[in-house]
Amino acid sequence: MTGEGRSDGALERLKREGRIVVVGASLAGLRAAETMREKGFAGSLTMIGDEPYEPYDRPPLSKQVLLGNAVADHTALPRRRAIDADWRLGVPATGLDMSARRVRLGNGDEVEYDRLLIATGVRARPWPNAEEGALKGVFVLRTRDDGEGLQQALAAGPRRVLVIGAGFTGSEIASACRERGLDVTVAERGAAPLVGALGGVIGEVAAEMHREHGVDLRTGVMVTGLEGDPSGRVRAAHFSDGSTVEADVVVVGLGAQRNTEWLAGSGLGAGPRGIACDAGCRAFDIRGIVTDDIYVAGDVARSPHALFGYQFLSLEHWGNAVAQADTAAHNMLSESADRRPHLWVPAFWSSQFGVNIKSVGVPPMGTEILVTQGSLGERRFAAVYGYQGRVIAAVTFDNCRWLPFYEHQIETTAPFPPPFATVDRRPEGHKPLPADFPDPSVPTHGPTITLSGYSPADRKMTFTPGRP
């Protein structure tokens, strides 16, 4: 470090004997801690996590664990190095005092910091009706305990599983159920699975995958209520089209909520959409002023991305958590001139129905889509998304080895549609199609109320629960 001569030595002191607190003992928190130690941080490091477990990996929970091929408590994250931390596990952080630089814990303890990293992530959005959500056999899937519980429920051989929501998690769960030979119904309020993440053209391919694998896929419907038997176990679900599906396991896959409630009243710019921070991972306070001692990383962060019109993006991506944690840790221990921006290109993967799905960029920004290689019908393809004449995202189905090329196209704002010839370009790859994302002006999350009828006597109010 070349801090000497440019600073008052505060940074060297911080590295030698400072106190760093990481709230959130998961992927981002662990990777940040490792990076800090790697950079020579020798002070005290406290890791706070509300779950009783050391950091573990989540992607296997909706895949290998549900298939019974891996055990939930064997998904601990491999360590890149020892971090010599004071672990406070099983205790949630409940408050933050920014001026006294203290984190309050659920057990009444307070931990002082010189630098704070918030990596509290997201939690599964629960079923909006708490009483129904508490029925036995109703699950969400986010934590290790969730994964273990659902795995056991599937292993017990239910007659039918209902998955509410066909996003990535919901689709992976449906895929695992079919692989285990279980009957499964998927209820999706949108027109197709994955439509929010990848649009209608790709959603249609996903819908075919579900149906071909024997999933009872119902799109354009909502689940209006869950019904239990006298013993308090779920037995059926009622749909908005008037139908009923009998199921003894129900998985609620309605997306995630950011864990920011503990920061209420702290003065930090934290809310339902995450914690706003600058490109260097420094959190904003509610006045829009950047802090210099509080950093954010992972799913809970919401940071501007230069490549995508400086939009504030919150990304629930594994790779983002790793990269952002690394940047945050680097910046926490650097002079301002040595700090670097988090410039990760969003990327995620999924595995369902035997198909490997990968994406880079921000597909929902795309207005058009073009299949540049392979074919939708064969479910082996690469497709790019266009936005105002440039490539903004790409997705591959069983074709991920080409993805680095498309990532480079996005990074260099290459023109859309791509003007060049490629190997394996088919006739369907000659003309862009509308990408067909749901209208963003229509509320997609959270409960809504709609009114119908004209005369005061006909006026009706319809409550719509949170959608997938």
Partner 1 sequence: MTQALLREIIDYANRANPYPLYEELRKAPVSHDGDGPYVVSTYYEIQSLLHDPRISSDARNLKATGDDPLGQSAEDEGTTLPPSFLKLDPPDHDRLRRMTNRPFGPPHTPHRVHDMREELGGLVSGLIDGIATTGNLDRVDLVDQFAYPFPVTVICRLLGVPHEDEPRFHVWAETLAASLDPDPDADPTQHGKGAMDARMELGMYLAGLIEERRKNPGDDMLSQLATADGPDGAMTTMEALSTSALLLIAGHETTVNLITNGMLTLLRHPDVLQRLREDPGLSVPIVEELLRYEPPVQLLPQRTTLSDIEVAGVTIPKGASLWLILASGNRDPKRFENPDRFDPDRKDIQHLGLGSGIHSCFGAPLARQEAQLALSELARRLENPRLLEDPPQYRQNAVLRGPRHLPIACDGILPQAA
Residue of 107, 129, 244, 422 that binds partner 1 (CB under 8 A):
422
3-state DSSP assignment of residue 146? helix
User: Which x/- pattern, by CB under 8 A, does the window 314-353 give for partner 1?
Assistant: ----------------------------------------
94 vs 24, 145, 259, CA distance in Å? 12, 22, 11
Residue of 382, 383, 393, 395 that binds partner 1 (CB under 8 A):
382
- Asked if 380 interacts with partner 1 (CB under 8 A), we say yes
- Can you tell me the distance from the alpha carbon of 190 to that of 443, in angstroms, rounded to the nearest whole number? 12
Q: Segment near partner 1 (CB under 8 A), from 23-31, 152-160, 339-347, 402-410?
A: 402-410
Nearest of 218, 216, 197 to residue 444 by alpha carbon? 197
CB of 423 to partner 1, least distance (A): 4
Residue partners of 302: CB distance under 8 A and separation at least 6: 273, 274, 275, 276, 277, 312, 313, 314
- Can you tell me the distance from the alpha carbon of 141 to that of 175, in angstroms, rounded to the nearest whole number? 14
- Asked if 454 interacts with partner 1 (CB under 8 A), we say no
Q: Segment near partner 1 (CB under 8 A), from 229-237, 268-276, 287-295, 366-374?
A: 366-374
Beta strands in 56-109 (DSSP E): 86-89, 93-97, 102-105
- Can you tell me the distance from the alpha carbon of 357 to that of 351, in angstroms, rounded to the nearest whole number? 6
- Asked if 401 interacts with partner 1 (CB under 8 A), we say yes
Strand partners, 228: 234
Residue of 421, 449, 451, 457 that binds partner 1 (CB under 8 A):
421
CB of 414 to partner 1, least distance (A): 11
Give the pair of three-digit tokens for residue 136. Answer: 């036995």
- Asked if 244 interacts with partner 1 (CB under 8 A), we say no
Please provide residue 218's backbone torsions phi and psi, each rounded to the nearest 5 degrees: -115, 115
Strand partners, 246: 236
When the beta carbons of 309 and 404 are compared against partner 1, the nearer one is: 404
Residue of 262, 371, 373, 416 that binds partner 1 (CB under 8 A):
373
CB of 150 to partner 1, least distance (A): 23
Longest C-alpha distance within the chain, in Å? 78
Q: Segment near partner 1 (CB under 8 A), from 117-125, 178-186, 375-383, 450-458?
A: 375-383
Give the pair of three-digit tokens for residue 80. Answer: 């890149």
- Asked if 402 interacts with partner 1 (CB under 8 A), we say yes
- Can you tell me the distance from the alpha carbon of 244 to that of 254, in angstroms, rounded to the nearest whole number? 19
Q: Segment near partner 1 (CB under 8 A), from 255-263, 339-347, 420-428, 443-451?
A: 420-428
When the beta carbons of 181 and 456 are compared against partner 1, the nearer one is: 181
Cβ count near 57 (within 10 Å): 16
- Asked if 420 interacts with partner 1 (CB under 8 A), we say yes
Q: Segment near partner 1 (CB under 8 A), from 59-67, 150-158, 415-423, 438-446?
A: 415-423
- Asked if 408 interacts with partner 1 (CB under 8 A), we say yes
Residue of 374, 386, 465, 466 that binds partner 1 (CB under 8 A):
374
Residues 265/257, Cβ–Cβ less than 8 Å:
no
**How many residues are given for the chain?**
468
Residues 146/251, Cβ–Cβ less than 8 Å:
no
- Asked if 404 interacts with partner 1 (CB under 8 A), we say yes
What are the residues binding partner 1 (CB under 8 A)?
A: 372-374, 378, 380, 382, 401-405, 408, 420-424
